[in-house]
Amino acid sequence: MITTYIYTMPRESWDELSPDKEAIRTLIVKHRREATRLRKLMKYYEGQHKILSEDRKTKLVCNHAKDIADTASSYFIGNSVSYKSKDDIATLTDAFEQAGADETDGDNGLDLSVYGRTYEYIYPEEGETDLTIKSLSPENTFMVYDDTIEQKELFAVYYYAMKDDSDKKRTIFVATVLTEHYKYVLNIDDITGPQALMEDPVPHYFEEIPVVEYLNNKLAIGDFELQIPLIDAYNALMSDRITDKEQFIDSILAIYGAMLGDADAKDENGKTAKERIKENKLMELPADARAEYLTRTFDEAGVEVLKKAIEQDIHKFSHIPCMTDESFGGNISGVAMEFKLLGMENITKIKTRYYKRVKEADSSLLWLAPKE
């Protein structure tokens, strides 16, 4: 069962001037458990599927996960986001261009398709005043909300684990904590119990958390996540298909009513009976003898039907059509094309609704550049 965890804590127990390292460590430990699922999704996108770890002679990866994610993200945000207003927004659009918003939007679109969520960090580079936008991986980033019905944002965390093998394999989480007014870079020991706050806060002057969280849909589910069992089944079917072909080629020759002679005996040319048969493609047998290959029955037609059925289900349930399908060729009508793309249009509308709503926060951060 897929469950997307929402990280919360009571607002009254949170003080941005004195962040609780013990509480942040607890949140990081919980996120690392969810990150296992997120890493699996990226591995599937990269082609590291379950079948590669199985005990099989043939292991084929047919990467439907990458095909679905690339198609969905390109259809959703393949073109640059455009901005329209009755007012003059040249300052805003110039700030987006300077910050690299187009590239980040593309990264966000792919992360949404793979992970089901993504994070965007707006900050000035060291020694600079112009703002930069960077997409943060959901594998080591999360947002924390209060426990009210509104679930208002408290702070964002971007972290990585630093191991010190010389000190009894001590693990330290280096966590960048971004609150409404401050930025902390905390060293948090992976131990239970309170930890002293030694790090000083650095004001970022945004007057709001400079990290934006985007969701792919209400449940933050990736575009191919629910189809992983079907993808695994397709990989297994295609691998078994190749194995059956190889076994057919390597079939055993059975001879009835005759013998080829001593397996080690050689003729005047130094060749065995097996070698002579292989070279001459000819075998002489007595009248009442026969020879045949021992092969397993191979229903090619049935396998092909099953292959097409699984592939159709992958695209059907992900709502991402196979663009190389022959049904997209020829003189297809506009109405027929609309029906074929209806599913992808629907999930793109959901993506757009969530992205557009949160993009307003992104715009306000760039519009109100920090002033020291």
pLDDT attached to residue 176: 97
In a domain, 296, yes or no: no
Number of domains in the chain: 1
| Residue 272 dihedral angles phi and psi, to the nearest 5° | -80, 170
Q: DSSP of 60-86, one letter per residue?
A: ----HHHHHHHHHHHHHHSSPP----S
In a domain, 294, yes or no: no
pTM of the model: 0.83
In a domain, 304, yes or no: no
Domain with 200, as residue range(s), is: 7-225+348-367
Query: Does residue 371 have a pLDDT over 70?
Result: no
Q: Residue 69 CA to chain centroid, in angstroms?
A: 8
In a domain, 43, yes or no: yes
User: For residues 54 and 56, what is the distance between their CA atoms, to the nearest angstrom?
Assistant: 6
* Tokens describing residue 117: 């969520």
**Could you give the C-alpha distances from 346 to 75, 217, 280, 338, 350, in angstroms and in order?**
12, 11, 64, 11, 7
Q: What is the pLDDT of residues 80-129, one digit of tens each?
A: 777 777 787 787 778 778 878 888 999 999 999 999 999 999 998 877 77
In a domain, 22, yes or no: yes
In a domain, 287, yes or no: no
In a domain, 276, yes or no: no
In a domain, 333, yes or no: no
Q: What is the pLDDT of residues 268-320, one digit of tens each?
A: 777 887 777 777 777 777 888 888 877 766 677 888 899 999 999 999 999 99
